[in-house]
Amino acid sequence: MENSFIFRFLVFIILFHGITNYTLAQDKTFIREYNYKAGETDSKISSRQKALTEVKALLIEELGTYVESYVNYEVAEENNKITRDFFTNEIKTLSAGTTETKIIEESWDGYEYYVKAEIAADPEEVLRRINETLSKRKSSEVIDSLNILLKSSNNELNSKNKELDLVKSQLTTKQKEIDTKQSTLNSLNSELTQAKQKLASYQAQEKLILSEIQAIEQKIKNATTKAVNNVRIGMTPNEVTQVCGNPRSTEECTTHLLYNYGNVWIYFESNIVMSVFDAKYYEGACCGSCSDYKRISKM
């Protein structure tokens, strides 16, 4: 089990038995010996290293057991993942880091390597260092946890910022599209307004022209009606003017004179009305067949 998990749930309370007891203030010496039987591949050096490893393990085991006997502690279990055995091993591990092993005697006969070693330690000092180490490790775990949490929060924040930047970019793109469409729409509306204004102007002009045409048509009709109803054969130009008003147009050729009143012409010979005929037959004042004007007379 990892230490980072363990120290979240470990409650370590160390109470010294007889803190005023003078014996606890004295160093305690532990002596152990070990014989290592060399294997076929072992040399003197490798045998010595293995013998030292084993004797150190025995000394630490004894030191840990001794220190544990002077400690009252409680172990808080979380889902049964922390046990008393674990705590005992933790004390031994920390004890090993706070003491030094001294070799008293060693020998090598070519087959076995003998080593005798001791550990001298003040239990109170060992416990103090254990507490100090545990405190540092626990503080380190808290800091690591906070750093992990902070890193996780920063990663999440960065992820959210990236998502936000993406959304902003998409919104900017959409806004540009909307602005472009709005600009096009405004341009079309402006063109439509101008077209409507032109149409209204054309309609007004057309209405005015139609009104003028109607007025002209009415004048032509009135002039035609007056001429047809009032002109008589034998009238002079002055008499015609008196009953019909001034002609719209006049034509003259030698002894021939013609007055126009709308859709009819009045034909004079020697200043006497000879005929009133439809304007569609008019061919001019000096035509070769002016005598026909009398034949097609409406009178």
Tokens read off for 36: 């290592």
Q: Are residues 148 and 246 in the same domain?
A: no
Q: Tell which of 155, 179, 199 closes a domain.
A: 155
Per-residue model confidence (pLDDT) at position 21 = 44
Per-residue model confidence (pLDDT) at position 178 = 94
Q: Are residues 148 and 233 in the same domain?
A: no
Q: Tell which of 129, 155, 181 closes a domain.
A: 155
One digit per residue, the tens of pLDDT, for the chain of length 299 reads 445 444 444 444 444 444 434 444 467 888 999 999 999 899 999 999 999 999 998 988 888 888 777 665 555 555 544 456 655 676 677 666 667 889 999 999 999 999 999 988 777 777 777 677 667 766 776 677 767 877 887 888 888 899 999 999 999 999 999 999 999 999 999 999 999 999 999 899 888 898 899 999 999 999 999 999 999 999 999 999 999 999 999 999 888 899 999 999 999 999 999 999 998 888 887 775 566 676 666 65
Please state, in angstroms and rounded to a whole number, the distance separating the CA atoms of residues 139 and 74.
20
Per-residue model confidence (pLDDT) at position 196 = 92
Is 276 a member of any domain? yes
Q: Are residues 116 and 257 in the same domain?
A: no
Q: Are residues 235 and 138 in the same domain?
A: no
Q: Are residues 7 and 151 in the same domain?
A: yes
Is 224 a member of any domain? no
Is 197 a member of any domain? no
Element holding 103 (H helix, E strand): strand 101-108
Give the predicted TM-score (pTM) of the model: 0.39
Q: Are residues 142 and 249 in the same domain?
A: no
For residue 271, give the nearest of 243, 224, 235 by alpha carbon: 235
Per-residue model confidence (pLDDT) at position 119 = 86
Q: Which domain holds residue 288?
A: 229-295
Please state, in angstroms and rounded to a whole number, the distance separating the CA atoms of residues 122 and 113.
30
Q: Are residues 243 and 148 in the same domain?
A: no
End-to-end CA gap in the chain: 136
Please state, in angstroms and rounded to a whole number, the distance separating the CA atoms of residues 87 and 14.
12
Per-residue model confidence (pLDDT) at position 299 = 59
Is 136 a member of any domain? yes
Q: Are residues 96 and 234 in the same domain?
A: no
How many domains, the chain? 2
Please state, in angstroms and rounded to a whole number, the distance separating the CA atoms of residues 259 and 244.
11
Q: Are residues 31 and 145 in the same domain?
A: yes
Per-residue model confidence (pLDDT) at position 138 = 67
Per-residue model confidence (pLDDT) at position 95 = 67
